[in-house]
């Protein structure tokens, strides 16, 4: 072998400059599924076994050819609705699942689940520190101090986090109640919502929807996750980059509210590892209890008002944030007059 040939076959230590961009990495289908899983978990359903969701969904499509959807249990109907939302949100997924082997279906589910779990882990990590800035008394430090990288002193162990996690309807200032919460004698289930989910941390037993899921802490956490950490202390803008913009999200979803509330509740707790089976924080029950309320058709009026309120906080430029026209406003009367004139004109047309 000639010297120059040998030299050409050996990678040069000075062959490429670190100041030049390398070739663009081609985005693989796996990357897209993981990315989609991140957003789907945050906005549609997070505590989910995705391989089972896909496997059951494909089998249920065949079952529904002979069985009406109404004959399925409530849990099966919810699962199938989530499965259909996943199909609708990812073009070509249904064909891939139908044509794929059982191993391929499981693999797709694992990739989506990897994305959802990764997003949940990332949000848990960043919120753990950020939430301390939001709950600190204005102009004061938290006393005794709370560690940013450890949660052992949070939960009912600390006066501040304990007051926020105290179930609505219980008085944290009552020494007996406080002692029972701290000792574990009073067991808090996931469907006992903490006071921090209410605006100004005020619970009205006579008007149960008053302030529900409208707290400043939830708004800060939502912006932190969806419109970027830097947007928390600023006026929201449609052009700001963040997870919402990356995925074309321009309105708040029911599941995203439940997701953020679950994240904040866990962040304030003393538990160190987020787990759907953790009986201490009971995160799965908490998440499902919020979804049960927000998806209840009987509560649609209150939920619509809640979503409109949230869209004004997070996506003020979107159509979902627009206020309905007041019934007695001049604009409403002008539009009613136009409608009446149009109907009268059509009524006078001879055929």
Neighbouring residues of 213: CB distance < 8 A, sequence distance ≥ 6: 197, 198, 257, 261, 290, 306, 310
What would the pLDDT profile of 301-320 be if each residue is shown by its tens digit? 999 999 999 999 999 987 66
Higher per-residue pLDDT: 345 or 194: 194
Question: Above 60 in pLDDT, residue 25?
Answer: no
CB 239 within 8 A of CB 201: no
Closest CA to 82 of 116, 114, 48, 107: 48
Of the candidates 12, 43, 9, 80, which has an alpha carbon nearest to the alpha carbon of residue 247?
43
pLDDT tens, residue by residue, 60-94: 999 999 889 999 999 999 999 999 999 999 999 99
Contact partners, residue 130, CB within 8 Å, separation at least 6: 220, 221, 224, 229, 232
Q: Give the whole-angstrom CA distance, residue 344 versus residue 262.
A: 54
The residue-averaged pLDDT of 32-37 equals 95
Residue 321 makes CB contacts below 8 A (sequence gap 6+) with 251, 308, 311, 312, 315
Distance separating alpha carbons of residues 197 and 200, to the nearest angstrom: 9
Cα 171 to Cα 173: distance, rounded to the nearest angstrom:
5
pLDDT of residue 30: 81
Q: Which residue has the higher pLDDT, 135 or 17?
A: 135
pLDDT, tens digit (0-9, with 9 covering 90-100), for 229-248:
888 876 555 444 588 888 88
Mean local confidence (pLDDT), 10-34: 61
CA 185 from chain center: how many Å? 32
Q: Return left, alpha or beta for 313; rule: phi > 0 is left, psi -120 to 50 is alpha, else beta.
A: alpha
Q: How confident is the model at residue 214 (pLDDT cuts 50, 70, 90)?
A: very high
Measured CA to CA in angstroms, residue 60 lies from 17, 63, 67, 335 at distances of: 55, 5, 9, 48
Q: Quick: pLDDT tens for 108-145.
A: 999 999 999 999 999 999 999 999 999 999 889 999 99
Asked whether residue 1 carries a pLDDT value surpassing 60, the answer given is: no
pLDDT over 80 at 182, yes or no? yes
Mean pLDDT on 291-308: 97
Smallest CA-to-CA distance from 279 within 142, 187, 344, 192 is with 187
Asked if the bond preceding 144 is cis, omega within 30° of 0, the reply is yes
Q: Where does residue 256 fall: left (phi above 0), alpha (psi -120 to 50 degrees), or beta otherwise?
A: alpha
Residue 323's pLDDT is 58
5-14, 213-222, 302-311, 322-331: which range is least confident on average? 5-14
Q: Is the pLDDT of residue 8 over 50?
A: no
């Amino acid at each position: 072998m000639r010297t120059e040939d040998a030299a050409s076959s050996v990678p040069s230590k000075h062959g490429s400059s670190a100041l030049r961009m390398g070739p663009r990495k081609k985005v693989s289908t796996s990357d897209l599924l993981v990315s989609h899983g991140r957003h789907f978990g945050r906005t549609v359903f997070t505590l989910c076994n995705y391989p089972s969701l896909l496997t059951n969904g494909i089998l249920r499509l065949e079952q529904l050819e002979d069985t009406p959807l109404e004959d399925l249990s409530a849990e099966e109907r919810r699962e199938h609705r989530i499965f259909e939302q996943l199909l609708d949100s990812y073009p070509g997924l249904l064909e891939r699942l139908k044509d794929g082997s059982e191993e391929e279906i499981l693999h797709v589910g694992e990739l989506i689940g990897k994305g959802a779990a990764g997003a949940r882990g990332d949000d848990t990590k960043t919120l753990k520190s950020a939430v301390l800035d939001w709950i600190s008394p204005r102009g004061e430090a938290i006393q005794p101090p709370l560690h940013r990288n450890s949660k052992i002193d949070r939960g009912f162990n600390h006066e501040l986090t304990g007051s926020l996690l105290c179930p609505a309807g219980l008085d944290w200032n009552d020494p007996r109640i406080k002692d029972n919460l701290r000792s574990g004698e009073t067991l808090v289930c996931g469907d006992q919502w903490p006071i921090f989910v209410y605006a100004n941390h005020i619970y009205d037993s006579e008007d149960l929807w008053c302030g529900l899921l409208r707290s400043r802490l939830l708004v800060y956490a939502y912006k932190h996750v969806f419109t970027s950490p830097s947007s928390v202390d600023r006026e929201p803008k449609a052009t700001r980059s963040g997870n919402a913009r990356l995925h074309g999200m321009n309105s708040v979803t029911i599941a995203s509210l439940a997701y953020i509330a679950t994240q904040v509740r866990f962040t304030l707790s003393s538990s160190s590892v987020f787990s759907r089976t953790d009986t201490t924080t009971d995160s799965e029950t908490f998440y499902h209890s919020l979804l049960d309320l927000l998806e209840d058709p009987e509560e649609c009026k209150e939920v619509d008002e809640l979503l409109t309120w949230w869209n004004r906080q997070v996506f003020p430029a979107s159509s979902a944030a627009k206020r309905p026209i007041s019934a007695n406003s001049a604009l409403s009367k002008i539009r009613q007059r136009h409608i009446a004139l149009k109907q009268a004109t059509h009524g006078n047309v001879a055929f």
